[in-house]
C-alpha cells in the first residue's frame, strides 16, 4: 500500500541500521580496513578518484568501504565532500613528458625514444580464474632511467605531421574553466569538455568511444601513446614568486592519433584526441581521447551524424552522479503526478469509449451494408 | 597527521557558494521566469532528490526561519523527512509541519492548500527546469527560443493535444507564462495547483540542482497557465471530498485499500487534512460524542491517520 511510503522517520533509521549490518557481513570475519582497499584494489580506487574528481586514495578507499563497494555511491560521497573544500587556485600544467613512466606503450611506432615499457598491465595476462593469488618478487629498479621520453605526438609534431597542441605564437596558457565552480553553458570550451570527460562515467565513455570505432562517427584512431606514472604537481604561489611542488599524483595519459585529410585551408595532417585521468585508468583515458576527438568535429568541419559527436548529448549525460541520482529518483513517491495522470487517462478513456461506441455502431452499419451488397450480387448471379 | 581528516563546513555549503546561489536568485527575481545558470554543487543527497531546492534553502535560511518540507503534499514522506532532518542537523533550523507557521516551505510536487502570505518563501525542487525540453532537447536551441520569445513550439504541442484528445493532455508541470514574458516550468506540481502561483503574496524560488538552473517568481506576479481563447486552461477538479477531513476543493490522493479495486480519496496536503480534521472533531465532540467513537473503530481510517498523528508527536 502506498501509504507505507509515509511515516518515515523511524523507517529511515531502521533501514540505515539494516544497511550497516548488511555491509558488515559475518561478525566472525575481520572488517576490511581502508588501507587494504587503497593498496589492494588500486584500480577501483583510481576510478572513484577520477569520477569523484578528487585525488585522495585514502578518502576514496574510505568512501568505497562506506558504500559497500558501490562505485557510484562512493563517487557521490567523494564529490559531496570535495565540493565543500576551498579552492586555492590552479596548478601549473603538469608535465607529462617529464613523467617517469611506469608504463608506456605506443601502437604507432615499433621503437620510440625512451623505449616501450609494459609496466603493470593486465594486457597479455591469461584471463584464467586463479584459486590463489601469487605475489612474485619484483626487483626494484636500481636507478631511474634518465633517458628522455618525448611524447610520440611531439615527435610527429616536429614534422608538422600532426596538429600542434597550441598555436605557434601569441599563445599564453589560459586559466582552465571549472565546471564545478562555474555555471555549465553549452557550447563548451575544449578545456571544459575535457574536464567533464575526465570526471565522466567510464562505462558511458567506453561505449561512446566504441561506437565511434564501429562507424557512428568515423575517426580512424591509432593509440599514439599511452603512459602511466607519477607526476609532480606544482602550484604558483604569488607570495614566493615561483612555482612550488605540492605533491605527486599518479596519472594515465592517452594521446590518440587520428586521420584527417585536410580541407581547403588546412594541409592534410593527423589530429589528436586527448585523455588524462587520475590513477591507473587506461581504458578510461583511451575512451576519453576517442570521444574528445569526435567532439572536435567543428574544428575540422566534419559532418555531425552520430551521438558521440553531439556535445550536449555526450557531456550532459556523462556524469554518473547526476545520471544515477535522476534515474534512481524514480523510486521517490510520485503519486501526486500519477493521480493527475490517472484522472486524465480515465477521462480520455471515457471519451474514447463514448466515441468508440458510436464508431462501433457505424462499423457494424457498414458491415451490414456490404453484406447486403453481397447478398444483392448473389441475387444478381 | 593530527585532527580529524574529514571536516564539513557548518551548514554544509560554504559562504562563497551561498553567495553564488544568492546572486543567481537575485537575478532570477529580477527577470521573473528566466532560468539563471548557476554552479550547482553536490549536496549529500543524490541528484534528482531535491539538490536544487536544498541549495536554495541552504542559501536563504537563517536562525529566525522556520522550515517546512513537503513531498507530494505530505510532511512525512521519506524524502521530506530526510531533507528536514538534514537541515535540522547542519543548519540547526527550526522546523514545522504547519504551513501557517513556516517562513520557508521546500516542496516537491505540491503547493499547500493553506493560502500563503507575504512572509513566506516557497522553494520548489525542480527536475527539468526547461519547459521546452521535451519539444527541443538542446539547451543551445531552447535558450535561443526563450531569448526570441519564440514559443510557437509549445502552442503547437498544446494544439496537437486538443486535435488528438479533445483537450490539453498535460496534467502536471503545466507550462505557465510568467510576467507576460517567459514560459516557465512550474515543476511537476499538478495543474490543480497552477492558479495558486498567480499573484501569490509569497516569493517563489525554483532550484534545479542536476540541471544547474535557478529561477524565480517575485510576489504578486502574473502567472498565466497557457491555453487558447476557445480552449482555455482548465485545472483538474475532484468531485468527491476528502474521506478523512471532508475538505472539498483540495487535491486528493487515491489510496488503494484492498485488492478488490477498493480506493479511498484523501487529502494530499497532510497538514491541511490534519488541521481540518482536528477542527471538525472539536466541533463534533462539542455537539455529538458518539460520532468520533464511530470513526476511530474504522480500521481503514485508523491506518491512514496513524502516520498523521505520528507527525503530531
The per-residue pLDDT for range B193-219, each reduced to its tens digit, is: 999 999 999 999 999 999 999 999 999
Residue A43 neighbours by CB distance under 10 Å = 13
In the sheet with A221-237, reading across from the earlier edge strand, the strands are: A101-105, A221-237, A242-258, A271-278
Pick the most confident of A132-141, A166-175, A218-227, A271-280. Answer: A271-280
User: Of chain B residues 23-62, which have a CB less than 8 A from chain A?
Assistant: 37-39, 41-44, 46-49, 51
Give me A7's grid cell. Answer: 511515516
Q: Is B265 on the interface with A (CB under 8 A)?
A: no
| For chain B, percent of residues with pLDDT exceeding 90 | 71
The larger pLDDT score, comparing residue A237 to residue B224, is at B224
Look at residue A141 in the predicted model and tell me its pLDDT: 66
Q: Where are the domains of chain A?
A: 13-82, 101-119+147-167+175-318
Check whether A332 has a pLDDT greater than 50: yes
C-alpha A210/C-alpha A290 separation (Å) is 8
C-alpha A62/C-alpha B268 separation (Å) is 41
User: Of chain A residues 284-313, which have a CB less than 8 A from chain B?
Assistant: 312
What is the dihedral sign for C-alpha A173, A178, A183, A188? Answer: positive
* Nearest chain A residue (CA) to B138: A312
Check whether A223 has a pLDDT greater than 60: yes
Within-domain flag for B300: yes
| B82 vs A12, A58, A83: nearest CB | A12
Render pLDDT for A281-310 as a digit per residue (tens, 0 to 9). Answer: 999 999 999 999 999 999 888 889 999 999
What DSSP designation does B119 have? T
Render pLDDT for B6-59 as a digit per residue (tens, 0 to 9). Answer: 887 777 888 889 999 999 999 999 999 999 999 999 999 999 999 999 999 999
Mean pLDDT of A114-119: 87
The larger pLDDT score, comparing residue A346 to residue A5, is at A346
Check whether B117 has a pLDDT greater than 50: yes
C-alpha A310/C-alpha B141 separation (Å) is 13
B149 and B295 within one domain: no
B207 given a catalytic annotation: no
pTM of the model: 0.86
Chain centroid to Cα B218, Å, comes to 16
B172 and B35 within one domain: yes
Check whether B126 has a pLDDT greater than 90: yes
Domain end among B181, B208, B225? B225
Helices (H) and strands (E) in chain B, counts: 9, 12
Q: What is the largest CA-CA distance in chain A?
A: 111
Chain centroid to Cα B39, Å, comes to 23
Within-domain flag for B71: yes
Closest CA to B85 of B100, B73, B75: B75
Full residue range of the structural domain in which residue B185 is found: 15-225
Closest CA to B69 of B271, B244, B234: B271
Check whether B278 has a pLDDT greater than 70: yes
Check whether A6 has a pLDDT greater than 80: no
Domain tally, chain B: 2
The ipTM of this complex is 0.82
Look at residue A144 in the predicted model and tell me its pLDDT: 60
Mean pLDDT of A364-379: 40
B191 and B105 within one domain: yes
B259 and B165 within one domain: no
Lowest mean pLDDT among A58-67, A202-211, B166-175: B166-175
C-alpha A77/C-alpha A179 separation (Å) is 18
C-alpha B177/C-alpha B195 separation (Å) is 12
Check whether A227 has a pLDDT greater than 70: yes
| B109 vs A76, A185, A337: nearest CB | A337
Within-domain flag for B245: no
Within-domain flag for B236: no
B74 and B22 within one domain: yes
Within-domain flag for B217: yes
Mean pLDDT of B120-138: 96
B257 and B149 within one domain: no
Within-domain flag for B233: no
- What residues in A contact B44, CB-CB < 8 Å? 80
Within-domain flag for B7: no
Look at residue A8 in the predicted model and tell me its pLDDT: 73
Contact A213, A290 (CB under 8 A): yes
Check whether A373 has a pLDDT greater than 80: no
B140 and B51 within one domain: yes
Are B8 and A344 within 8 A, CB to CB? no
B176 and B42 within one domain: yes
B258 and B221 within one domain: no
Domain end among B225, B242, B273? B225
Check whether A381 has a pLDDT greater than 80: no
* Nearest chain B residue (CA) to A322: B47
Size of interface A-B (CB pairs under 8 A): 166
Give the confidence band of A62 by pLDDT, cuts at 50, 70, 90.
very high
Check whether B301 has a pLDDT greater than 60: no
C-alpha B247/C-alpha B252 separation (Å) is 10
Chain centroid to Cα B126, Å, comes to 9
Mean pLDDT of B91-95: 84
Mean pLDDT of A249-275: 88
Look at residue A269 in the predicted model and tell me its pLDDT: 87
Within-domain flag for B4: no
B288 and B213 within one domain: no
Q: Is A356 on the interface with B (CB under 8 A)?
A: no
Q: What is the largest CA-CA distance in chain B?
A: 73
Between the alpha carbon of residue A31 and those of residues A23, A56, A131, A158, the distances in Å are 10, 22, 22, 55
Check whether A359 has a pLDDT greater than 90: no
- What residues in A contact B270, CB-CB < 8 Å? 6
Amino acid at each position: 500500500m502506498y501509504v507505507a511510503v509515509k511515516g518515515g522517520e523511524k523507517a529511515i533509521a531502521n533501514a540505515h541500521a539494516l544497511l550497516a549490518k548488511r555491509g558488515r557481513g559475518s561478525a566472525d570475519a575481520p572488517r576490511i580496513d581502508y588501507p587494504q582497499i587503497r593498496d589492494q584494489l588500486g584500480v577501483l580506487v583510481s576510478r572513484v578518484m577520477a569520477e569523484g574528481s578528487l585525488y585522495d586514495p585514502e578518502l576514496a578507499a574510505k568512501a568505497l568501504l562506506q558504500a559497500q563497494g558501490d562505485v557510484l555511491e562512493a563517487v557521490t560521497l567523494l564529490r559531496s565532500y570535495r565540493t565543500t573544500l576551498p579552492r586555492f587556485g590552479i596548478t601549473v600544467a603538469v608535465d607529462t613528458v617529464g613523467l617517469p613512466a611506469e608504463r608506456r606503450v605506443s601502437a604507432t611506432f615499433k621503437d620510440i625514444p625512451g623505449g616501450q615499457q609494459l609496466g603493470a598491465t593486465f594486457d597479455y595476462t591469461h584471463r584464467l580464474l586463479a584459486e590463489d593469488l601469487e605475489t612474485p618478487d619484483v626487483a626494484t629498479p636500481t636507478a631511474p632511467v634518465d633517458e628522455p621520453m618525448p611524447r610520440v605526438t611531439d615527435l610527429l609534431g616536429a614534422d608538422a605531421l600532426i596538429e600542434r597542441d597550441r598555436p605557434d605564437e601569441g599563445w599564453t596558457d589560459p586559466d582552465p574553466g571549472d565546471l564545478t565552480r562555474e555555471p555549465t553553458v553549452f557550447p563548451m570550451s575544449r578545456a571544459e569538455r575535457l574536464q567533464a570527460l575526465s570526471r565522466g562515467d567510464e562505462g558511458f565513455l567506453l561505449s561512446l568511444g566504441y561506437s565511434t570505432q564501429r562507424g557512428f562517427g568515423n575517426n580512424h584512431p591509432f593509440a599514439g601513446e599511452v603512459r602511466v606514472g607519477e607526476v609532480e604537481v606544482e602550484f604558483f604561489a604569488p607570495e614566493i614568486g615561483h612555482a612550488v611542488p605540492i605533491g605527486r599524483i599518479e596519472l594515465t595519459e592517452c594521446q590518440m592519433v587520428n586521420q584527417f585529410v585536410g580541407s581547403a585551408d588546412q594541409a592534410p595532417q593527423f589530429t589528436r584526441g586527448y585523455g588524462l585521468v587520475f590513477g591507473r585508468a587506461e581504458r578510461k583515458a583511451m575512451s576519453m581521447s576517442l570521444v574528445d576527438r569526435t567532439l572536435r568535429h567543428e574544428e575540422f568541419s566534419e559532418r555531425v551524424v552520430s551521438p558521440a559527436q553531439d556535445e550536449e548529448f555526450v557531456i550532459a549525460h556523462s556524469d554518473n552522479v547526476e545520471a544515477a541520482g535522476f534515474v534512481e529518483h524514480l523510486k521517490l513517491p510520485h503519486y501526486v503526478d500519477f493521480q493527475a495522470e490517472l484522472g486524465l487517462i480515465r477521462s480520455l478513456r471515457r471519451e474514447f469509449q463514448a466515441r468508440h461506441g458510436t464508431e462501433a455502431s457505424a462499423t457494424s452499419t457498414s458491415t451490414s451494408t456490404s453484406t447486403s451488397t453481397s447478398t444483392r450480387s448473389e441475387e444478381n448471379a | 597527521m593530527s585532527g580529524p581528516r574529514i571536516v564539513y563546513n557548518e551548514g554544509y555549503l560554504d559562504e562563497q557558494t551561498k553567495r553564488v546561489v544568492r546572486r543567481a536568485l537575485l537575478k532570477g527575481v529580477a527577470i521573473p521566469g528566466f532560468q539563471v545558470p548557476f554552479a550547482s554543487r553536490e549536496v549529500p543527497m543524490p541528484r534528482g532528490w531535491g539538490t536544487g531546492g536544498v541549495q536554495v534553502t541552504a542559501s536563504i535560511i537563517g536562525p529566525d526561519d522556520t522550515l517546512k518540507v513537503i513531498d507530494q503534499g505530505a510532511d512525512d514522506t521519506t524524502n521530506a523527512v530526510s531533507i528536514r532532518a538534514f537541515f535540522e542537523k547542519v543548519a540547526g533550523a527550526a522546523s514545522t509541519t504547519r504551513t501557517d507557521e513556516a517562513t520557508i516551505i521546500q516542496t516537491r510536487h505540491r503547493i499547500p492548500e493553506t493560502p500563503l502570505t507575504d512572509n513566506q518563501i516557497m522553494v520548489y525542487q525542480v527536475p527539468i527546469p526547461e519547459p521546452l525540453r521535451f519539444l527541443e532537447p538542446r539547451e543551445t536551441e531552447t535558450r535561443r527560443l526563450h531569448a526570441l520569445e519564440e514559443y510557437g513550439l509549445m502552442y503547437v504541442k498544446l494544439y496537437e493535444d486538443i486535435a488528438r484528445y479533445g483537450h490539453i493532455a498535460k496534467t502536471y508541470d503545466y507550462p505557465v507564462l510568467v510576467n507576460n514574458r517567459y514560459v516557465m516550468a512550474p515543476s511537476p506540481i499538478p495543474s490543480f495547483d497552477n492558479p495558486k502561483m498567480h499573484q501569490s503574496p509569497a516569493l517563489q524560488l525554483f532550484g534545479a540542482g542536476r540541471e544547474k538552473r535557478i529561477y524565480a517568481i517575485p510576489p504578486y506576479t502574473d502567472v498565466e497557465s497557457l491555453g487558447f481563447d476557445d480552449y482555455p486552461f482548465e485545472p483538474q477538479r475532484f468531485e468527491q471530498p476528502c474521506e478523512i477531513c471532508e475538505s472539498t476543493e483540495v487535491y486528493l490522493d487515491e489510496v488503494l485499500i484492498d485488492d478488490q479495486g477498493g480506493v479511498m480519496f484523501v487529502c494530499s496536503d497532510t497538514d491541511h487534512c490534519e488541521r481540518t480534521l482536528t477542527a471538525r472533531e472539536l466541533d463534533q465532540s462539542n455537539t455529538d460524542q458518539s460520532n468520533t467513537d464511530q470513526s476511530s473503530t474504522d480500521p481503514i481510517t485508523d491506518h491512514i491517520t496513524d502516520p498523521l498523528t505520528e507527525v503530531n508527536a
